Amino acid sequence: MKPIYKTVGIVGTGAMGRGIAQIAAQAGSIVKLMDNQAGAAEIAREAICAQWDKLVEKGRLETAAGASHKASLLVAGTLADLADCDLIVEAIVERLDVKKALFAELEATVPAQTVLATNTSSLSVTAIAAALKHPGRFAGYHFFNPVPLMKVVEVIAGLKTDAAVCSALASHARQMGHTPVQAQDTPGFIVNHAGRGYGTEALRIVSEGAADFATIDRILRDQAGFKLGPFELMDLTALDVSHPVMESIYHQYYEEARYRPSVITAQRLAGGMLGRKTGEGFYRYADGVMQLAAEAPVPQVAEMPPVWVSPRASRRSELLQLLKNLGAKIETGQSASPQALMLVAPLGFDITTVAVVERLDPARTVGIDMLIDDAATRRRVLATNPATRTDMRDAAHALFARDGKAVSVIRDSGGFVTQRVVATIVNIASDICQQGICSPKDLETAVTLGLGYPLGPLAMGDRYGPTNVLEVLFNMQTVYGDQRYRPSPWLRRRGAIGLSLMHEE
């Protein structure tokens, strides 16, 4: 197949530039590597060729194909050597002034038909192109690291970008084996924007003292199905990468509460506790292996109290059946006996608020998160309130662990852990659609490929119920008084009338 762009120039030979060069050469383009640092382009070429050699040795690439790829990968000594390129992709430092200076020089060097693209992850495409004489040929082309494995690329139109340029870049991405998604030029584009809720909400839970890093990671892996917990993920990406992105998107959106960063990551960044690469982040690492303390054992309870379930509990019938399966002695009266453990299962509210509103004895009241069907999870999550007695907490823990399923007990938190993190993710994704940043389909594709979530955020909202997500957000806004939790109109309207969050008007 004839490549969309016969000759592609790559400026910048870091990991991202090398990755883009590799897949472009594999797709049949002649690729020219260029870097201002002496010898960097030659080193990058050798590294890419070494990867192809390994693939040939393992039988995953034919010898002739490897030789062809190598022949297509060239080194450019200066920007003038890129003058015959059909496409030039910049993958240099994330500084607006440096990128603008580079493209001004490129524009004076290459012909008018050459497409210019930036791999920026957080800067405005429109701002980078502002001084160009021909901004119509300029677009964002955001790949993710490692490029050969991360199969999504964001194609971003600036305010003056020609539609044909984005269309051609999308076709080129497909030739390289990647999936393109179209995004408007907004802070964070799609993936980095949609990813704001996962880490920042987990940090808020920690800052309230509701649970520690490891507990939150366990809950979101085992209960909600995420591959990595938020603190594992931040340790992997490193805080010198993730925290500046948090701050950048927050400030670019003029201090929008939904994207508020945390002092916790700011402090750890200042202290050099960046994650795996420094040997310490939210976890400690010995020879690259995360050191994780064992979970607290299940309490031993000599005599289990009877259990009474609030009439207002979410999934009440399922909860009652679960208790029956676990062998609990269930009370069915309108009110609990003086000896009973009182169970509540709120959406969005904290256990304290529920105990007060329902006039329950807070000393005997424990909450359980029932947003997700118990059969679909590998962990149950309970929450106490400040007055919950130790014996009642231990009884609840022991009871819900009877069948061997893991149980986490956290302190009082509006929305437990899963509810508030999932609701925040769904809400931000809904607002991305409300703003017209991308289509719902491209949003789902970008997030599942770029972030590895178990479901796209809109599908996640549909699975757990837009009405339930709305209830979580409304109630959390009541508990915390924070505009962070105000529901997006996209979510509020579709939830109110029973439409899928994927539904477009």
User: From the candidates 154, 201, 444, 471, which is the catalytic residue?
Assistant: 154
143 touches 19 (CB < 8 A):
yes
By DSSP bridging, strand 138-142 and strand 289-291 are unpaired
Amino acid in position 178:
H
The Cα-based distances of 297 to 326, 364, 380, 397 in angstroms read 18, 22, 15, 10
Whole-number Å distance between alpha carbons of 462 and 443: 14
Tokens of 314: 């979410």
> What values do phi and psi take at 61, rounded to 5?
-145, 130
Among residues 74, 76, 121, the alpha carbon closest in space to that of 94 is found at 121
User: From the candidates 121, 262, 310, 427, which is the catalytic residue?
Assistant: 121
Whole-number Å distance between alpha carbons of 380 and 403: 11
142 is catalytic: yes
By DSSP bridging, strand 365-368 and strand 379-383 are antiparallel
User: From the candidates 192, 430, 475, 488, which is the catalytic residue?
Assistant: 192
Whole-number Å distance between alpha carbons of 452 and 331: 43
Burial class (CB in 10 A: 0-12, 13-18, 19+), 209: exposed
Whole-number Å distance between alpha carbons of 124 and 201: 25
Whole-number Å distance between alpha carbons of 373 and 72: 53
Tokens of 249: 């998107």
Whole-number Å distance between alpha carbons of 344 and 366: 6
82 touches 89 (CB < 8 A):
no
138 touches 129 (CB < 8 A):
yes
475 is catalytic: no
Whole-number Å distance between alpha carbons of 123 and 248: 9
Whole-number Å distance between alpha carbons of 347 and 502: 23
β-bridge mates for residue 73, sequence order: 31
Among residues 10, 1, 80, the alpha carbon closest in space to that of 48 is found at 10
365 touches 357 (CB < 8 A):
no
154 is catalytic: yes
Integer distance in angstroms from the first to the last C-alpha of the chain? 38
265 touches 242 (CB < 8 A):
yes
Contacts of 279 (CB under 8 A, 6+ apart): 285, 286
Query: SS3 of 472, please?
Result: helix
User: From the candidates 69, 142, 172, 243, which is the catalytic residue?
Assistant: 142
397 is catalytic: no
Residues recognised as catalytic: 121, 142, 154, 192
